[in-house]
Amino acid sequence: MKMRAILWLMLGAVLILAGCTTKEATGPDVIIGSGTRLIGELTTNLTIGESPYWVQGDVTIPEGASVTIDPGVEIRFDPNNLYAIYVKGHLEAVGEPDNNIVFTSMDGALGGGDFGQWRSILFDTKDDVSRLEYCVIKFGASSDTNARYTSYPDSVDPIGMLMTGAVIVWNCSPVINHCTIVKNGYHGIYCIGADAHPVITNNNIYENDGDGIRCTKDNIQIPKATPDIRNNNSKENNGQNWADLPLGIGEMDTVNVNRDSCDFQGNISLNPDFGDFEHQDYSLNACSHCIGAASEGLAMGAFPYDVATNELRGPIGSRTENGGSFIVTCDAFVETGDNLILNNTTVQFEGLYHLTIAGLFQADNVTFMPDTTIPDAKWNGIMISSDADENSFIRNSRFISTSTTEKSDPYGGAITIQSISPTIYNNTFTNSIYTAISLQYGSEPEISYNTIDGFGTAGIYCYNNSDPYIHHNIIRNGSGYGIWCKLLSSPHIESNVIYNTSLIGIQCENQAQPFIEYNTIVNHDYTGIDCIFNSNPIIQNNIIASNGATNTYSAGYGNGINVLQSSFPVVTYNDVYQAPNQGSAFSSGMTPDTTNHGVDPMFDLTNARPYFLMSDSPCLHYSSTTPEPGQIGAYGKGVWP
């Protein structure tokens, strides 16, 4: 501190030698350094032309005076002393969203700054309504407990009030709106006195060394203040975020428009996600919880966030786009009653964000992809919730490199569907880290003509009574299950080509009873179809060939169809073929029906369609159809494009 004082003295000497002068609040225009000097009684306006101002002593706006501070003005408090601004008249400090008024220390203005380098802005205005709006208030609220302010008669309060707030409201009712109040040495806002009824709205109050907002009495004879506190964010304050406030303030028992927890007045306690807090950039990043959480859908604090016309984030309302592109800058959602209709569009996710649908969602010829400028970037998929419109669909679209927020059971996917049945038609899924399509809690959509190429846990996951109709899909090159049916799920699985996974083609588990017909299931490292834990699927007219790598056969797998743990599938009219040095067609203890055979299906590997049959394949005339048996496998029923 001594070194800092010496430096300031040296600077003052240099400026005097250079011919610089000073200006008191009521004196002549005299400039020192880069600031107009403020001290003493202030009765004139503070203008942008004379900004910045350098507070070098306590400043008082006297009773009867009215002072306006222009937008963009910066008021810098001398860092070597603890000065305050006392408002006893009227103060109109109304900045603009892109042109704030700033109250800071001189150190803070020069890129440094620390807790408590000046004292307070204190309102003692009785019936007047002063305003702080779109202001930044930082590095004030010294923790010096020797400083007191006396307003009541000595008989009520003989020692005075502790001046422990960056903004102190003493028995009056100013409006404090859209301010950012950060890194002050004690409370952000301190309200005291029976006649203190300030309106405190839409502020961002963060990392102050005391409480965020405190409303209390300093003397037992002085009743508590009753402020109106709405739509503020108070977070990471070293004391309490909400201290001794009216009943219910700070009790997070509901949700706001962003689906964040809030109290009944819309106040939140969440990370504001500043641009660069350590370097005094208090603008808001796209994922800030403060965006849209203020009144009228604005952002909390002094800094606006303008959503670009092609940007999706938070509640997006209703949007329709034909052609063009969107960027998703944070988790986005379509609320009940709203719609998102996309045609011939590209949607790029700029991080691990997801899109949640509770309204109508229709996508046709849309590419969903991560940020291509970041190597190995992912995004978190689309959640179609139980509240979504049944007329939703996704068709002719592409899903590239999706992860998911649901990394454990029930696993999420590039598309996750809960208790609803949209149409999923003719889409391509590439590199789905967990699942491509995850169906949960009674979902029954039609999933057809999709290509799923590269996936983790499963290509298609049917969980908890989900019974979709899955037909004419190509599912390949995964590291888990091609189709996983679990927990009472009984989908109709028909005419799919499922091949080249590191585990199992179709997994039936925990009382799953799917109807599996006319599929071609080839070249899985463990098993073609696995039935465990009381699962009883119907398996007919399928080609199940060359499943089980040599190194998995000894582990008890390596079969065409594997049955364990009280499962009793019905298996008829299938070709279950195992090449030499692979496991058996059927697991031990299973007696296959005589309608099944085990011959080489004779695939035409030169055909553009995967595992198409040669013209003399024995599988062309083997199905259960009467009077003439037809072709089994994926190309034996229905029409492929």
Q: Kindly state whether residue 463 falls inside one of the protein's structural domains.
A: no
Under 8 Å between Cβ of 270 and 236: no
Going from the C-alpha of 394 to that of each of 320, 410, 450, the distances in angstroms are 15, 22, 11
Q: Are residues 548 and 431 in the same domain?
A: no
Structural Rg of the chain based on CA atoms: 35
3-class DSSP state for residue 181? strand
Under 8 Å between Cβ of 85 and 120: yes
User: Encoding tokens for residue 382?
Assistant: 């689309």
d(CA 488, CA 467): 9
Q: Kindly state whether residue 88 falls inside one of the protein's structural domains.
A: yes
Q: Kindly state whether residue 466 falls inside one of the protein's structural domains.
A: no
Going from the C-alpha of 345 to that of each of 80, 157, 390, the distances in angstroms are 59, 68, 22
Q: Kindly state whether residue 290 falls inside one of the protein's structural domains.
A: no
Going from the C-alpha of 257 to that of each of 29, 202, 330, the distances in angstroms are 50, 14, 15
d(CA 88, CA 215): 20
424: containing domain: 307-458
Q: Name the H helices within 22-175.
A: 106-109
Neighbours of 632 (CB within 10 A): 31
Q: Are residues 54 and 151 in the same domain?
A: yes
DSSP string, 437-503: EEEESS---EEES-EEEEESSEEEEEESS---EEES-EEEEESSEEEEEESS---EEES-EEE--SS
Overall pTM surpassing 0.85 (yes/no): yes
Under 8 Å between Cβ of 217 and 224: yes
Please list the residues that pair with 586 across neighbouring strands: 561
What's the confidence (pLDDT) of residue 224?
80
Q: Are residues 332 and 245 in the same domain?
A: no
Last residue of a domain, one of 425, 458, 491: 458
3-class DSSP state for residue 114? coil
Q: Are residues 562 and 441 in the same domain?
A: no
Q: Are residues 513 and 636 in the same domain?
A: yes
3-class DSSP state for residue 13? helix
Last residue of a domain, one of 249, 271, 290: 249
Amino acid at 311: E
Neighbours of 217 (CB within 10 A): 16
Q: Are residues 38 and 172 in the same domain?
A: yes
Give me the number of domains the chain comprises.
Answer: 3
d(CA 248, CA 5): 47
d(CA 454, CA 475): 8
With pLDDT > 90 as the criterion, what percentage of the chain qualifies?
84
Q: Are residues 453 and 519 in the same domain?
A: no
Q: Are residues 413 and 510 in the same domain?
A: no
d(CA 629, CA 611): 20
Q: What is the largest CA-CA distance in the chain?
A: 112
Burial class (CB in 10 A: 0-12, 13-18, 19+), 277: middle
Going from the C-alpha of 121 to that of each of 60, 126, 166, 266, 595, the distances in angstroms are 10, 15, 6, 26, 90
What's the confidence (pLDDT) of residue 222?
62
What's the confidence (pLDDT) of residue 219?
54
496: left (phi over 0), alpha (psi -120 to 50) or beta: beta
Last residue of a domain, one of 423, 458, 493: 458
**Regions in the chain scoring below 50 on pLDDT:** 1-33, 218
What's the confidence (pLDDT) of residue 216?
76
Q: Kindly state whether residue 571 falls inside one of the protein's structural domains.
A: yes
Q: Are residues 242 and 311 in the same domain?
A: no
Could you list the beta-strand ranges (E) of 118-216.
121-123, 131-133, 135-138, 148-149, 161-162, 165-170, 175-177, 180-182, 187-192, 199-201, 204-206, 213-215
What's the confidence (pLDDT) of residue 7?
37
Neighbours of 544 (CB within 10 A): 33
DSSP string, 530-578: EEESS---EEES-EEES-S-HHHHTTT---SEEE-SS---EEES-EEE-
- Per-residue three-class SS string for 198-258: CEEECCEEECCCCCCEEECCCCCCCCCCCCEEECCEEECCCCCCEECCCCCCCCCCEECCC
d(CA 190, CA 218): 11
What's the confidence (pLDDT) of residue 53?
97
Give phi and psi for 49, each to the nearest 5. -70, -30
What's the confidence (pLDDT) of residue 553?
59
Residue-wise pLDDT for 297-324, tens only, equals 999 999 999 999 999 999 999 999 999 9
Q: Are residues 53 and 123 in the same domain?
A: yes
User: Encoding tokens for residue 349?
Assistant: 């996710």
User: Encoding tokens for residue 194?
Assistant: 């029976």
Q: Kindly state whether residue 120 falls inside one of the protein's structural domains.
A: yes
Q: Are residues 396 and 509 in the same domain?
A: no
Q: Kindly state whether residue 348 falls inside one of the protein's structural domains.
A: yes
Amino acid at 557: Y
Q: Are residues 236 and 344 in the same domain?
A: no
What's the confidence (pLDDT) of residue 26?
43
Q: Kindly state whether residue 5 falls inside one of the protein's structural domains.
A: no
